[in-house]
Structure 1
């Protein structure tokens, strides 16, 4: 493999036509040898950002740097990057080995040398022995591995993935994301990975950049984004989150007392002023207790219950609004209409910096 390279955006804009802004004043750095995911809903600008790294689109303003070199106006062939597309884009009339070697062949590498590199790339993705097959003879997961091998054989310093698992079923998606992560760590290549699937992003990333409406909403490690979302959008997009009205009283330079109905929590105040606030509370951070339990912080009535095998999902009506809870499916589940108590854990609770609920 080539030496991994860092990717840096410096105040990048991308406009289409006269009024459409796909990426607005975006700056970030992907450290060399890490896997960074661009996460966000459709139309947020993540794929356009990826295409500007690949050279398939050029920035309207700002700079794109790979390995410290300004590549903003360079064509794809001069950027030392490879891309795995959502559709895989395999040639149906070529064998697996011919598909993998295609990039080397068009760059006039000797056939024997190209085939040796292609076989090594196939071996690295667990497809040794599949060289003579056609794409139509492979499963979806195997086709995806061929597409990865075709990208790896060029020995890029940056490997790009554009929604590579969206065509696979849920079980295969989980297996393939684990394989992509293992491959990235083993080879030490820099990976920029686009997805709208938050579970996928949390599972494989060193760093996540959440985008919304053409700008970066928040960036950080998976744990930072999940446990300390900067806004209601991030809290709701990176996992499930209850948004509850609260009152904040700052206690010191770091922590505050947060009042949610009858419940009190001590949490980092994140620089917010005293007064009305909004609390993001993860569903799995809430325990459902029998009515009257002394450790309960809020009381409520079960409005909905859904048994999902390993967990039960509850919607509980409380004085501060409906609260969504994901509870282990141990023992007798609570039925709609039953009165219960709720206890909040500090882990999985965070004050939001956005506007408070009215």
Structure 2
């Protein structure tokens, strides 16, 4: 494996025609040897950004640097990157080993060297002994691993993934994302990963860049984005969040008392002034208690209850508005119409900066 490289965007724009801006003045850095996810809804610019790293699109303005080298105008073959596509793009008439070795064969690597490198790549993704099989004889997860091996065999300094798990079922997606993360950490390669799946991004990333409407909405670690969203879009897109009006009274340089109806929570005030504020409450930060429980902070009435096995999803009407709650299924479950009390924890609650 070649040495991992830093990826840097410097005020990059991408226009398609006179009136369509896919990426607007985007700047970020992916440190070498880390896994960074570009996360956002369809049409936000994340796939165009990935394609500009790969050299499949060129920036209209700004610079793309890989390993400190300006690659903005270089074709894909000169960038030292490999890409794993959503469809895997395996050749159906070629064996697994021939698929993996294809890039080396095209670059005229001697056959024995190419096959040795291909077998090593297959072993690295847990497919040793699968050399002679055809793609049609593999499961979806195995095909995905072949696509990864084909990218790894070229020893790229940056490995790119474009929605690689979207064609898999939920259980296999979970296992494959764990395998991709383990592989990235073991090999130390720089990975830029595109997905619209928030759980996937939170599970595998060192850094997440959330994009919305062609710009970066926020970037940071999974914990930073989940616990301290920069705006209402990030709060609602990175996991579920109740957005409710509240009142803030600053207590010092860091913390403030947030009033939600009769409930009081002490949280970082994030530089906001006293007065009206907006609070983001994660559904799992709200505990559902029996009506009249002295630990309850706010009364409510269950509007909906959905049993999902290990958890129950509640919609609860309160003086502060309807709140969506995810609670463990405990045997003390509540039905629609039941009066309840709610208790809020500071973990999973955050004030949203204005604007």
Q: TM-score range by the shorter chain?
A: over 0.9
What is the aligned partner in structure 2 of residue 51 from structure 1? 51
What is the aligned partner in structure 2 of residue 313 from structure 1? 313
How far the C-alpha of 1:332 sits from its partner, in A, is: 2.4
1:86-125 aligned at under 5 Å gives the runs 86-125=86-125
How far the C-alpha of 1:272 sits from its partner, in A, is: 1.1
CA offsets, 1:169-222, max 9 Å, x none? 000000000000000000000000000000000000000000000000000000
What is the aligned partner in structure 2 of residue 205 from structure 1? 205
CA offsets, 1:136-156, max 9 Å, x none? 111100100000000000000
What is the aligned partner in structure 2 of residue 132 from structure 1? 132
Secondary structure at the counterpart of residue 57 of structure 1: coil
What is the aligned partner in structure 2 of residue 34 from structure 1? 34
What is the aligned partner in structure 1 of residue 280 from structure 2? 280
Distance 2:284 2:343 in 1: 11
Distance 1:273 1:37 in 2: 33
**Once structures 1 and 2 are overlaid, which stretch shifts more, 266-275 or 100-109?**
266-275
Secondary structure at the counterpart of residue 8 of structure 1: strand
What is the aligned partner in structure 1 of residue 68 from structure 2? 68
1:237-276 aligned at under 5 Å gives the runs 237-276=237-276
TM normalised by structure 2 equals 0.99
Question: 1:291 and 2:291 equivalent?
Answer: yes
Secondary structure at the counterpart of residue 253 of structure 2: coil
Distance 1:15 1:269 in 2: 39
Distance 2:218 2:265 in 1: 25
1:167-186 aligned at under 5 Å gives the runs 167-186=167-186
Alignment size in residue pairs: 355
How far the C-alpha of 1:354 sits from its partner, in A, is: 3.2
The runs of 4+ residues in structure 1 deviating greater than 2 Å are: none
What is the aligned partner in structure 2 of residue 219 from structure 1? 219
Q: Which runs of 5+ in 2 are unaligned?
A: none
What is the aligned partner in structure 1 of residue 301 from structure 2? 301
Distance 1:349 1:159 in 2: 35
What is the aligned partner in structure 2 of residue 5 from structure 1? 5
TM normalised by structure 1 equals 0.98
Distance 1:198 1:220 in 2: 14
How far the C-alpha of 1:256 sits from its partner, in A, is: 0.9
CA offsets, 1:309-352, max 9 Å, x none? 00011100001100111000012210111110000000000000
Secondary structure at the counterpart of residue 288 of structure 1: strand
Secondary structure at the counterpart of residue 341 of structure 2: strand
Secondary structure at the counterpart of residue 154 of structure 1: coil
**Once structures 1 and 2 are overlaid, which stretch shifts more, 301-310 or 288-297?**
288-297
Distance 1:26 1:260 in 2: 37
Q: Which runs of 5+ in 1 are unaligned?
A: none
